[in-house]
Amino acid sequence: MEVVCHWVRGCCCGDKEKEDEEVKQRRDEEEEEEVMMEEIRFRKSTSSTSLQPAEVGVVQSDSSHWFHTLQTRRLRVQRGRSNSDPVGGVSCEDAVTWRPGLQFGAAQSYLSLEKLGEGAYASVYKGISRINGQLVALKVIRMKTEEGVPFTAIREASLLKGLKHANIVLLHDIIHTRDSLTFVFEYVQTDLAQYMSQHPGGLHSHNIRIFMFQLLRGLYYIHSRRILHRDLKPQNLLISYLGELKLADFGLARSKSIPSHTFSSEVVTLWYRPPDVLLGSTDYSTALDMWGAGCIFIEMLQGAPAFPGITDVFEQLQRIWTVLGVPSEDSWPGVSLLPNYKPEWFHQSEPKQLRTVWKRLNQLPYKTEDLVQCMMKRVPTDRISAQESLQHAYFSTLPPPIMHLRDMVSIFKVPGVRLETEVRDIFNPGRRIKPSLLPAAMRW
């Protein structure tokens, strides 16, 4: 799946900043507004977007009742992580009486609103839970009668069932009927790829730090459980409008706790694949994801992928060697034994200073480059671990309590942690930067 949630421009993307401000001012009205918005959208799309074709009738006949359910729930509550739950997570469980017939695991408990994206083995819809009014992302797995549930889906759900963390997308529910399988995820507005395309030319350095911290925090969590994501890329990092980052798409993920199993070297999108795996090693571990995280780090800084635009493993390796230098048996014992190793590389380039390759590093304190350097090591065993990287000096400017949060607590709960306004915004080109933000913006 390419994306769990695409951005719905009309409703939250363009007005993001405005919405952020407004959230504080008028929480109460917003409850109503969001409900109304969904109602309108629902009217437009009843005919086509319900979960199952067979279910349309049920939904339509029931719709007035459904409106009623939503309208009566205009709760005057503080909104917590409001990105994924329009009625606020707090009082939901108290306020919502469970309606008979609407329960988890049932298709009629969710309405799909619009299609958000299409992946290799699934389509993703924005949806709403009729149980508690939460927005959800419905990932509908295509099932071929012959093959049953795809193994990617089995792995994804099985792994996500055990992962509860503020930086991992939350799997709410699974709907399994005879001929379809739907995963119900929390709804997150956008992903890092979209975010970067909205704010081209590199992100605000403060925001990069916040995103990186969350990415590494999520990785630390899964790595400590011996799970590899194996498909890190900006599209798979969901971003809520608060700036919460969540790892998504565990279709390629797998547990590496059980010894000596077969591992595929055809993992990770080429651009984010580490050199050892490109060389054909299947003996990879958590360092695999750290390379991807490093690539994403650079991409956020530069506004462009670190090693882009190539379709072939060897070209991809070549591009990495241009920056990091060609490995030798001295610098990387055993490298020449890897299947894709080519001796003719031997005479080629020397490692370069990262700041000469990625210019943005020049404008930032040295510790940024240092962390990048630690993550972009050719030899996997030299690469920094997620746990170590969280302790890196690069993150020392974040408020200390951020290091001691419980798993399910978002870093935005820590006072003083918030996103800065990005300098460039393609949806608001003429926007004036607030004076208070200028110094921060000028820093780079």
Partner 1 sequence: MHKRARPRVLVCEWRGSRSAFSMRRPLRSEWVRAGRCSCWFLSLLQPLEFKTSPAENRPHSSSSSADLHCSAMKHPHRRCQTPPSVTVRVKPNSAHTLQIRRGLRLKRASGQDAQGPAGKSAPSRLQVATPKARIPLAPTIVIQSQEMASYFRLFDDDLIQDFLWTDCCRKLTDKAGAYLLAMTFVYFKRARFTIDEYTRKNFFTALYLANTMEEEEEESKYEIFPWALGKSWRRQFPRFLKQRDKLWVRIEYRAAVSRRCCEEVMAIVPAHFVWQRERSEHHSGAQRQYSDKVNISIPRGPFASPVTCVLCHHSSRLDQGLGSSHPNRGSPAPSPNATYPDPFTALLTLETTPLRAAATGRKAAETKSHVRPPSCCCAEGVPREDSSCGSTLDTSMNWISEE
CB of 282 to partner 1, least distance (A): 5
151: tokens are: 């193994």
Site residues for partner 1 per CB under 8 A? 80-81, 84-85, 89-90, 92-94, 104, 132, 134, 145-149, 151, 154-155, 157-159, 161-164, 170, 172-174, 176, 186, 224-227, 254-255, 257-265, 282-283, 406-410, 413
139 is in an annotated binding site: yes
341: tokens are: 């190793």
Contacts of 284 (CB under 8 A, 6+ apart): 228, 263, 265, 274, 276, 277, 380
253 vs 296, which CB is nearer to partner 1? Answer: 253
CB of 338 to partner 1, least distance (A): 12
CB of 179 to partner 1, least distance (A): 11
State the Cα–Cα distance between residues 47 and 168, nearest whole angstrom.
33
CB of 337 to partner 1, least distance (A): 12
200: tokens are: 């081209």
Pick the closest to residue 58 from 104, 116, 126, 110 (CA basis).
110
Sign of the Cα torsion 50, 56, 58, 61 reads positive
State the Cα–Cα distance between residues 339 and 362, nearest whole angstrom.
36
In the set 85, 191, 231, 276, the catalytic residue is 231
State the Cα–Cα distance between residues 99 and 101, nearest whole angstrom.
6
CB of 200 to partner 1, least distance (A): 33
- Strand 227-228 to strand 171-177: parallel, antiparallel, or no bridges (unpaired)? unpaired
259 vs 415, which CB is nearer to partner 1? Answer: 259
State the Cα–Cα distance between residues 346 and 110, nearest whole angstrom.
58
149 vs 438, which CB is nearer to partner 1? Answer: 149
187 vs 213, which CB is nearer to partner 1? Answer: 187
Q: Identify whether 94 is a catalytic site residue.
A: no
117 close to 3: Cβ distance less than 8 angstroms? yes
395 vs 412, which CB is nearer to partner 1? Answer: 412
State the Cα–Cα distance between residues 324 and 319, nearest whole angstrom.
9
229 close to 247: Cβ distance less than 8 angstroms? yes
- Output the known binding site: 139
Known binding residues for ATP are 139
Residues annotated as catalytic (active site), given as ranges: 231
